[in-house]
Structure 1
Amino acid sequence: MAATLLGSALTCVSAGYAVAAAMLTRRAAVRPDLPATGGEVRASVLKPLCGAEPRLYDNLATLCRQSVTGYQIVCGVRDPDDPAIAVVRRLQQDFPGTDITLVIDPRVHGSNLKVSNLINLAAQARHDLLVVADSDIAVPPDYLVRVTAPLADPGVGIVTCLYRGRPVGAFWAKLGAQFIDDWFAPSVRIAHAGGSRRFAFGATIALRRDTLTQIGGFASLSDRLADDFWLGELTRQAGLRTVLSDVVVTTDVTETRLAELWTHELRWLRTIRSLNPAGFAFTFITFTWPMLVLGVALSPTPAMLAVALAGLVARCTLAGSLSAAVRSPLRDVLLLAGWGSALAGRQVRWRDRILPVRDPVQDGKVL
């Protein structure tokens, strides 16, 4: 009896999650009317770079094709021999009408090298609106209009964007993109629909300079692993709101081997666990295929079979294409395995460095 009840509960909850995820994702695909184009947006876009990624020029070029003028792009590297420098120089030549600043500054401010780069970049930012975006992000032409508009409200702390995966490669890259599109983004949409605002994504964070100053500048993040999350969290602690923009940007997924994909996703999952241990413990209900199979195995009734079928249809709809739907069972099984591994372990690999997953800053002190 207990196993049957457990199976029924697991089937209903997992199927309900899949249906809700599919509905919210479909609703988000319908964008509101475009705002008027033209005019100026006085914002500085900060782009910390490290290495010449496969589509770095193409991604940065999307920022140079905005529907407005008046903005500044600030790109920066630490190493004077970084190959990203040549990419930025090419952009400066190809888009002479765009204000592109290149910063080469080796100074290190704390253990987080990305934040060190941001500290160096911020010193060259000329505008009071700041937009921080990862190097592998491509954006639509109305991006700056949309992500900066909510900052006119003084009660808004940050504006952030969800992102979709763009595989740069074959099978494993496509599976990595599904991690973002089929699991991460829907889970954020469900949390957002439930009233949560405890998120901020490196894909885009827009804020006012005075807000950044209020929370102690980028220096307040210099020893934190999840700097994007904490940039939002510190503004929320200051009593300011987080806005999830309707803009969805695109991020490259470049893994070519299972080992690379596993390392990347394990870093994401352990970081999520470190920020919300209790919520992460119940994340297993979002892994639709293995949870529904287990639920029906424990409670093989006609009613539960019908509920599970509805959940699987929703999960396949969420995948967005027939080929992605075929990959979805493997995708969910890998997520379950990654979740189990992420429940333990205190370190992650980020680029070529091993970092502790526990945030080293607690109660204003470095541990």
Structure 2
Amino acid sequence: MESLDYTLLGLAILLFSVWCFNFLLHILAIVYGKWKLSRKLTPVVPLEELPGVTILKPVVGVDPHLYENLETFFSIKYPQYELMFCIQDEMDSAIMVVQSLVQKYPDVDSKIFIGGKHVGPNPKVNNMAIGYEAAKYDMILVSDSGIKMKEEALMDMVLHMKENVGLVHQMPYACTRKGFSSHMEKIYFATQHAKMYLTANFFNINCATGMSCLMRKNIIDEIGGLKHFSQYLAEDFFLAEMFINK
């Protein structure tokens, strides 16, 4: 009986220790996020001197929010950027959605690439390969089709790209939308996902997210371009690792 009491006490201490550790991670993430994500930068050079940005949008299939998500990229407040929509399957119904937006915003530099290019086992890299090769700007933003961009977000990312910085990624923030999957997404990204990513960044651990990631193309080209990372399924991790080692 006494042995059982000690076992329960040890288990209680262990569970309490885990809870305390998890609670501290939450506090650290909140404090670090407030400090890191609340700083608003202003351009130190004229807007026309800011570097151009190529936005790669890998698109697969149509979800209820695809049109709404993609449309936000046509109203970004940034002096020069191009939108490169990459669609693997020529029968994908997403093509009609993208074409309607391209026609709606003829003044926005946008292109559609269909078919992709097989350069390795990573399907996302295969999808973006042709768009990447056609990019005319040195700054590359890889942005998933599920991302909704605020007007000033690209400007903020570029301004954080200092001389000693090769990669800037965004923390996902889930919008309130209808549907069970949207609720689950919001719960995950606003709790466990955000906590671990912020904590990892605080300790300089490679934990970049490839959902919305701004990178210097010339550095990627030095080791063979985006196709070099097609050999990895977690291409975002190895891209970040490459920039860290640079």
TM-score by structure 1 length? 0.59
Matched residue SS, 1:64: helix
State the AA in 2 paired with 1:95.
Y
2:16 to 7, 11, 21: 11
Structure 1 unaligned runs (5+)?
240-367
Tell me which residue corresponds to 2:192: 183
Tell me which residue corresponds to 1:119: 129
1:25 to 12, 22, 30: 30
2:112 to 102, 107, 111: 102
The number of aligned residues is 236
Tell me which residue corresponds to 1:199: 207
- Cα distance 1:66–1:196, how it changes in 2: closer, same or farther (>3 A)? same
State the AA in 1 paired with 2:39.
P
Q: Distance in 2 between matches of 1:131 and 1:123?
A: 14
| CA distances 1:214-237 after superposition (whole Å, capped 9, x unpaired) | 232111221211111121122223
**Percent same amino acid at aligned positions?**
25
Structure 2 unaligned runs (5+)?
1-5
**What pairs up with 1:301-320 in 2 under 5 angstroms?**
none
Is the 1:77–1:103 Cα contact (8 Å) retained in structure 2?
A: yes
Is the 2:117–2:129 Cα contact (8 Å) retained in structure 1?
A: no
- Cα distance 1:7–1:196, how it changes in 2: closer, same or farther (>3 A)? farther
Q: Distance in 2 between matches of 1:98 and 1:82?
A: 23
Q: Distance in 2 between matches of 1:235 and 1:57?
A: 33
- Cα distance 1:200–1:20, how it changes in 2: closer, same or farther (>3 A)? closer
State the AA in 2 paired with 1:73.
L
TM-score by structure 2 length? 0.85
Tell me which residue corresponds to 1:309: none
Is the 1:199–1:233 Cα contact (8 Å) retained in structure 2?
A: no
Q: Distance in 1 between matches of 2:157 and 2:40?
A: 15
Shift of 1:190: 1.8
Q: Distance in 1 between matches of 2:58 and 2:181?
A: 26
1:161 to 162, 170, 174: 170
Tell me which residue corresponds to 1:364: none
Q: Distance in 2 between matches of 1:170 and 1:215?
A: 43
Q: Distance in 2 between matches of 1:87 and 1:35?
A: 34
| CA distances 1:96-137 after superposition (whole Å, capped 9, x unpaired) | 221111112343222112101121111121111111111110
RMSD: 2.4
- Cα distance 1:205–1:180, how it changes in 2: closer, same or farther (>3 A)? same
State the AA in 2 paired with 1:150.
H
Instruction: Confirm whether residue 212 of structure 1 aligns to residue 220 of structure 2.
Output: yes
Is the 1:167–1:176 Cα contact (8 Å) retained in structure 2?
A: no
- Cα distance 1:33–1:232, how it changes in 2: closer, same or farther (>3 A)? closer
1:74 to 80, 84, 88: 84
